[in-house]
Amino acid sequence: MSIPVIAAVDGSDDSLRALDWAVDAARRRTAPLRVVHVRQYAAWNDTGVPLAPAPDPDGDPVLDEVRRHLDGIAHLPETDYLALAGTPAALLPELGPTAQLLVLGSRGRGGFASLLLGSNGMAAARDADCPVVVVPPAGREVHGDGPAEPGPRVVVGVKVDSPDEASLDFAFAEAARRDARVQAVAAYTWPVQTWATPGQLLPPCVDQNAIEQETRTLAEEALTPYRDRYRTVRADAVAAPGDAAGHLVAASRDATLVVVGRHHRRLLAPARLLGSVTQAVLLHAASPIAVIPPTPETP
């Protein structure tokens, strides 16, 4: 059987929106759907394993609500249900090896209304070994200009000095499934400032147009192998000055999906990390956000 798309639910409106997104994703992949509810218990050990017995999925009120929500949906993928007990932030990332995608809402039932992203979503995006899609609440507003042309878009960030292969491949594959175009956003630092004496800044000694053209050229080069692999997908490279996160958030308006990468582990920081750009996009983007783990390094 194909590896499933997993939707994590808790009965909140956000998680039901994420469930609908997961149903559509499973259909597009011809994959089964697995709906998971992690019920928190007051007593568990230090590893997140509950001291109470695991709940029965046939007697779980949240999963019963999900069954009613899905009842009558046409062409529903093959669906199974899993009830777990423990800490969602610990258990959800452990589902990564068994999933094509892990999909969850931006903020769960247990979160405070003032929080833009719940701790479970942050933990899953940081720690899961599969792509994690976080679906934001409806109506999230972003600033900046809208898309230059209508139609479905998959937005992906491109770091031109070290393109993230896993994120680019995921973005193109998703665009192919959705008959969408890829909008690749490459940001460059501007203005470039140099110090002459303490407290005195010199004007830029390089031309902005030249930097922008070089950034766009490098972004186009990064896209070339994926254009060759996904010949039906149109891809446009956008070079923009300033903050990468701000440009990706602005591009999320009316986008189908925004794709960002997760940091590689570094020698002095062996724990898994979410970069500042990825965190900002998770917090503020108006469209669903896919966080892609790096391709495992070969020994």
Averages of pLDDT over runs of 10 residues in the chain (299 residues) are: 91 91 97 92 54 63 93 92 89 94 76 48 88 90 72 94 94 98 92 56 69 94 97 95 91 95 57 75 93 73
How confident is the model at residue 112, as a pLDDT? 38
* Second-level CATH architecture of 153-292: 3-Layer(aba) Sandwich (3.40)
| CATH topology (fold) of 5-135 | Rossmann fold (3.40.50)
How confident is the model at residue 134, as a pLDDT? 94
What is the pairing mode between strands 5-8 and 101-105? parallel
The per-residue DSSP string of 14-54 comes to HHHHHHHHHHHHHHHHT--EEEEEEE--S-B-TTS-BSSPP
Residues 6+ apart with CB under 8 A from 179: 152
How confident is the model at residue 82, as a pLDDT? 94
What is the pairing mode between strands 194-197 and 200-202? antiparallel
pTM of the model: 0.85
Residues 6+ apart with CB under 8 A from 19: 7, 9, 35, 66, 69, 70, 103
Q: According to DSSP H, which parts of 165-275 are helical? A: 165-178, 208-229, 244-251
Residues 6+ apart with CB under 8 A from 237: 158, 184, 186, 216, 219, 220, 223
How confident is the model at residue 265, as a pLDDT? 47
What residue spans define the domains of the chain?
5-135, 153-292
How confident is the model at residue 20, as a pLDDT? 96
How confident is the model at residue 192, as a pLDDT? 59
CA geometry: angle at 289 spanning 102 and 57, to 5°?
25
Q: Are 234 and 182 in contact (CB under 8 A)?
A: yes
Provide the residue count of the chain.
Answer: 299
- Tokens 């503020």, residue located: 284
